[in-house]
Amino acid sequence: MSTLRGKVHRLGANVDTDVIIPARYLNTTDPAELAKHCLEDLDPTFPLRVQQGDIIVADENFGSGSSREHAPVAIRACGVACVVASTFARIFFRNSINVGLPIVECREIVDASEEGDELEVDLATGTVRNLTKGVTASAVPFPDFMRHIIEAGGLVPYLHDKLAGSNSGSNSGSNSGPFGATNGGRDGIRAEGNEVDLLHD
Long-range contacts of 182-187 (CB under 8 A, 24+ apart): 186/143, 186/144, 186/145, 187/144, 187/145, 187/148, 187/162
Q: What are the tens digits of pLDDT across the range 78-106? A: 999 999 999 999 999 999 999 999 999 99
Q: Using one digit for the tens of pLDDT, what is the confidence trace for 119-132?
A: 999 999 999 999 99
The mean pLDDT value of the chain amounts to 85
State pTM to two decimals.
Answer: 0.80
CA distance 116 to 91: 28
Q: Indicate if the pLDDT at residue 10 is higher than 90.
A: yes
Q: Tell me the average pLDDT across 13-42.
A: 96
Q: Transcribe 144-197 into DSSP letters.
A: HHHHHHHHHTSHHHHHHHHHHHHHHTTTS---B-TTSSBTTSTT-EEEETTEEE
Task: Give the pLDDT confidence of 138-154 residue by residue, as tens digits.
Answer: 998 888 888 889 988 88
Query: What is the CATH number that goes with domain 3-142?
Result: 3.20.19.10
From-to residues of CATH 3.20.19.10 in the chain: 3-142
Q: Maximum distance among all alpha carbons in the chain?
A: 57
